[in-house]
Structure 1
């Protein structure tokens, strides 16, 4: 096999993912080993060593993942304990400081772990300080809405299992002596910051961020600009930084007449020191390993294989930290490198006979985007096609600025030239930022979408080989493609009449998205009155975008309490909203300014109104047009009865018992699904009201461990007595209600098994996968029989 390192990385990745997603026990591990040995026994001799290599690293992946999932702090969570640790990383945010702490001891018992400590900005802290504090550890939460950012995985990629918060006044300096490794890193960072102090504020932030690979130095608008025009890779220490630094050093040493071997040793040492100074982020580890391997190959006069080098770098990286497999930086860095190595020459060949620097750069940009576009859409839900042009023009300028930036660390006078050159870079980024017409938003692609994309890419890449295949093999491939398209189309068509209601987990608040045949209605948007956390910007809006919602046909606000409407402001600023429907005219100035700026019509409705939107019929049951309640805003909530595919859903806002008594007089009948009023508070859900509704399914939208103690035990018991199935967002995350023509399907997004799109996808489409596996197996047998027959005919001739 030309590149056996592929088997190493493939086996390692499979082992890590298998260990993470499935709860391992003795029987499962023994069973895996038995199946592996059985496969080795059944396959032919030539393939035994290939499978053995793969299976060995599969087991290594299981082992290292399992080891890294274990934490010595498991016995200390949810109770107060005294911790002593060293500050390893500091991230200063607008209102708080986040510090990664290397724990030395817990309650005077030696312990080596990492945690994330968050505190206020009243006190200054330094890298390497040994601190003492008492805190309660909490496990990092996974995303409770599908497709959203997984904080737990992010922290695992930093080798952190637990987090805690402590007031800075209760954090004490335990030891003033700072370890040497932190002194060196701090001095380098301070030197870089001081060296660029002559630059303008924007240029200073940008160059510090670029050299240190730390985007926290940037203003929010700077970061967003680089993100929007596809230049975020310039801010991560990657191949560009390492290659420029090492190549420049190597050329300088060669010019000075330094021996070639010494030159290579110095260059490798330099890039490793630089990597240490910046904390070895995943992209820098890849670049350093690959560059070092290329220099060693040159030193030993051996051929250098970029793809083999990439696989080896990935193996080393994941052995160091298996959870880098979940790091977006790691995934994008390795995918970009793979795409360049595999597709660059193919893309460049398309421009023949044109050659030169411009063609090389354009080929590089196009080749890297072949694999990166679907990943960018998957993670960020947008792709700006202007990024092709921005990379073509700005990257060469940024590369020159980076070289000048490195040189100015030695010759500070160069910062004057650097300032002018960076001004040009900023002007160009501002120009490209204005072209928003080519910035397209996309819904998060499914695993099936991604599979089809890369399958098509594989077919195009191997078109020459495919054209030269035997006719019978072409037929098998054609049948496979047709079957794939048929299965994909059937899956889409059979769900076309489904009405989907997603009860989004917005913490202590309400938000539900109704979707039917491209029509989207949002009932409430969540929000918070007691926190700076913007629910709309961080949860509701991202979920809508990731679900492919670019327009709301209607935004229904049950009433103007923060936990129901405040999240709508971020939505109105970023998505097209055709109309707002509510119980009364709002008084919030900021809300009124936003609807006025975006020309969104506002409709005030009551029980005399019915709403018909894109096939969804909504009856307004409350408030009535002749009853005015007291000043309790909860009791003015809109009560909406949704009729969908013959099923009835009741949205109750935050109504209390007084309104429930009034609604009992209307005799509107039973419902199939009830959104329980006021987050399950004991001020709502009268037993006679629940008995009258007789809901088969009850949804409670409520925050985990909330201040109010919602839902009340009384409400839960009332629902149990009514034989209603209870679903809670605090326990299950997002609750998806799929209303088909003949039944209702409830899909809570709960637990680690269901929280991963891949596992969820495989679980819900197992019949399709069985079809594919059987078809592939039959295809394989058919091709092998055909080739066997052809070999025998050839022997007879």
Structure 2
């Protein structure tokens, strides 16, 4: 079955990669002919395997294409009246409620095919917030006005692709509801799925009552798969340490559940057979209670097959069990191959089956046996998960294997039994679970703080761009070569070691080979604010960091969202990681406004920064004081610049400081650090929030034409004056502004002046992030969106 699953995987990948193209048909034919060569072998078993494999390859390809051809929406965009049923867990986040709604009727007419819409309800007051918690449940029937729209596309390179994510869940529309007054609802009817979702929410509330803030969300994810309860910063720290598998239900959790349940059944006096049967019944309930993630479903299928084999007293072949799990899951939903958790789960399980047995043989000298097994599992899991880790998450810590080696047994042996015990007794009454919960809290909290301290140091950590297919192929060859060495298929001598080292060095260096003689300037879409990343061959410069997290202006705490949009966290850091940037050489704070330096504390905390550049003004706001304190605590060099300073990175790349000048009394905006980048004969001007007074002052000092202008103060009326444009004559004007911002930026007068100056205008609110690439031959730019105004 494992071999057949590889045929199926090949068909699914071909169908997914080469969609609607001639290449698809050619590839299928090529693979079909290549595999069909096995039809002419004399060995009957191999011939039968090849025939079935070819059929399975073609069936998987056709099945994926059939599903994909039907994955379209029949719902129109705009205001409609919908009737439907909530078919997901309801997530409350401040003044917003989110859930999936399966639509039955639109404008009182039954839909031809039921579709699922991802709905967001915006609550207007505390009364609606309280009512929502009583109204919205899994299975609740809703009717009322719904504003349907297409899911928003990513507006920055490296950003999460929400459209693609929803597409593979067969969701093509998002809906918004303003308030609850216009909604009518009916209580949900009883269902197994609804009961499991309600049970998960109820148990999560029990954990909140028993545990402190440091451990409650973590244990909700660990025991119940309720990752929405985990603080985003905590999740990011676990991700940086390579421990996300601990807080998401996976094979490790399923294995512990099966072992614990069988042990308890035997302890209660049940026979071996009855223990296995009861576990086979309870295991699916636990998996669906915890959300039925792809990794949990893989473990469920494999666990059921292993238990069945034990029940009939036969040995379960891990390879074939893995193949059955793959074929079963992809038969239900072929899109599951696109989910990261599915890919990681199957790849790591494959690595464990492949590498653990020979590693344990090679480590016979290591005593005791459980330590040998733990080392083998850690090495195998690290080797096989590494390519997907750097491909999707871009960050790998070389401390991760050691931390997993120590932390996973600690969680499995010490924390898991007590935490589960506290949940079982706490389900009866919170008071019954407090003793075990207090023990877990007192033991786990200092360990977590220690881990967070290690993570904050960013020790032995690398940041890579998503590797190419060539790199992934070479890495696969390296792992295959290591496996052949371990199994003794290749002689362990000087030549084999040399070849292994050469492959490893190529894999380690390949991501750094592409060092082109060019400068890449990315004006990120951070809403109403500025954030510009300049990448040269020698260094990375970040100019401003966007604004602070969005919080309610009226001070109502119930409206504060668990994870509000924060440009530094949600845009800048993902972009840096996607570009393989692990440190910043210079961080320029143009001036002290929060929409320019609101993310500086986050960046200083999460990315090594060599030097901070500012206009030298004394800190006035609390934000500026926080930045100053962080720079001092982290011993970051600080340089106050002024007009006239020049530094050259290399031949053809020169920076000039044009502002601030020595004139005092200027407004905060006109004290902005203004930088001119001269690169390969091109001139790019970064103006911060410079306004007319500052512009006239620079004109008096003698400004020349520029190729690209970052328009000052987001295109406000008081910036980008006619005199300024007449003198500098920018070919391209880039405006960084938020969509539908409350300031009305960019102002129509500014837009008219830019048009009269014959400047091509590109706006981040319309086009998303703008990337300018300059080399010694040409200057060009691209935008994330491709509208008419972005070309």
Q: TM-score, normalised by structure 2?
A: 0.80
Picking from 619, 625, 645, the partner of 2:662 is 625
The equivalent of 2:370 in structure 1 is 357
C-alpha displacement of 1:93: 3.1
Picking from 440, 447, 459, the partner of 2:481 is 459
The equivalent of 1:794 in structure 2 is none
Residue 24 (structure 2) pairs with residue 32 (structure 1): yes
C-alpha displacement of 1:288: 0.8
C-alpha displacement of 1:739: 2.4
Deviation sequence 1:412-469 (CA, Å, 0-9, x none): 7676446535643444444444445574443233323544433322222234789759
* Separation (CA, whole Å) in 2 of partners of 1:720 and 1:642: 24
Deviation sequence 1:494-515 (CA, Å, 0-9, x none): 7354332222221232221222
Picking from 131, 150, 171, the partner of 1:139 is 150
The equivalent of 1:795 in structure 2 is none
The equivalent of 2:296 in structure 1 is 284
Picking from 47, 51, 61, the partner of 1:58 is 61
- Superposed, 1:59-458 pairs within 5 Å as 59-68=62-71, 70-73=72-75, 75=76, 77-79=77-79, 81-86=81-86, 88-94=88-94, 96-111=96-111, 112=114, 113-120=116-123, 122-123=129-130, 124-125=132-133, 126-128=136-138, 129-156=140-167, 159-170=170-181, 172-181=183-192, 184-185=195-196, 188-189=199-200, 192-193=203-204, 199-201=210-212, 206-218=218-230, 223=235, 226-227=238-239, 229-250=241-262, 253=265, 264-299=276-311, 304-354=316-366, 355-377=368-390, 378-379=392-393, 381-383=395-397, 384-385=399-400, 386-401=403-418, 404=421, 408=425, 416-417=435-436, 419-420=438-439, 423-436=442-455, 439-448=459-468, 449-458=471-480
Conserved 8 A contact 1:144-1:732: yes
Conserved 8 A contact 1:254-1:260: yes
Conserved 8 A contact 1:103-1:115: no
* Separation (CA, whole Å) in 2 of partners of 1:657 and 1:334: 60
> Would the alpha carbon gap of residues 64 and 177 (structure 1) be closer, same or farther in structure 2, given more than 3 Å must change?
closer
> Would the alpha carbon gap of residues 668 and 411 (structure 1) be closer, same or farther in structure 2, given more than 3 Å must change?
closer
Unpaired runs of 5+ residues, structure 1, are 753-797
Conserved 8 A contact 1:498-1:516: yes
Q: How many equivalent pairs are there?
A: 734
The equivalent of 1:607 in structure 2 is 643
* Separation (CA, whole Å) in 2 of partners of 1:252 and 1:529: 48
* Separation (CA, whole Å) in 2 of partners of 1:115 and 1:6: 34
C-alpha displacement of 1:735: 2.6
C-alpha displacement of 1:57: 1.0
C-alpha displacement of 1:275: 2.5
Conserved 8 A contact 1:680-1:710: yes
Conserved 8 A contact 1:583-1:636: no
Deviation sequence 1:233-273 (CA, Å, 0-9, x none): 23222223323333444455567776776655443222122
Greater mean deviation of Cα atoms: 596-605 or 51-60: 596-605
Residue 689 (structure 2) pairs with residue 654 (structure 1): yes
* Separation (CA, whole Å) in 2 of partners of 1:666 and 1:710: 28
C-alpha displacement of 1:520: 2.2
- Superposed, 1:481-520 pairs within 5 Å as 495-520=515-540
C-alpha displacement of 1:299: 4.9
> Would the alpha carbon gap of residues 530 and 273 (structure 1) be closer, same or farther in structure 2, given more than 3 Å must change?
closer
* Separation (CA, whole Å) in 2 of partners of 1:171 and 1:440: 55
> Would the alpha carbon gap of residues 585 and 608 (structure 1) be closer, same or farther in structure 2, given more than 3 Å must change?
farther
Conserved 8 A contact 2:117-2:174: no
* Separation (CA, whole Å) in 2 of partners of 1:175 and 1:295: 42
Conserved 8 A contact 1:230-1:390: no
> Would the alpha carbon gap of residues 225 and 603 (structure 1) be closer, same or farther in structure 2, given more than 3 Å must change?
closer
C-alpha displacement of 1:213: 0.9
Deviation sequence 1:683-711 (CA, Å, 0-9, x none): 54456644543434433333344445544
C-alpha displacement of 1:547: 3.5
Residue 688 (structure 2) pairs with residue 671 (structure 1): no
* Separation (CA, whole Å) in 2 of partners of 1:340 and 1:135: 48
* Separation (CA, whole Å) in 1 of partners of 2:743 and 2:669: 15
C-alpha displacement of 1:8: 0.9
1:132 is paired with a residue whose SS is strand
C-alpha displacement of 1:320: 3.5
Unpaired runs of 5+ residues, structure 2, are 40-49, 552-563
> Would the alpha carbon gap of residues 435 and 713 (structure 1) be closer, same or farther in structure 2, given more than 3 Å must change?
closer
Conserved 8 A contact 1:512-1:523: yes
Greater mean deviation of Cα atoms: 505-514 or 603-612: 603-612
Residue 557 (structure 2) pairs with residue 527 (structure 1): no
Residue 665 (structure 2) pairs with residue 643 (structure 1): no
Conserved 8 A contact 1:147-1:444: no
The equivalent of 1:582 in structure 2 is 615
Deviation sequence 1:511-566 (CA, Å, 0-9, x none): 21222334222222222586553222322234334434444333223333332222
* Separation (CA, whole Å) in 2 of partners of 1:220 and 1:488: 32
* Separation (CA, whole Å) in 1 of partners of 2:350 and 2:448: 27
> Would the alpha carbon gap of residues 398 and 291 (structure 1) be closer, same or farther in structure 2, given more than 3 Å must change?
same
Conserved 8 A contact 1:135-1:165: yes
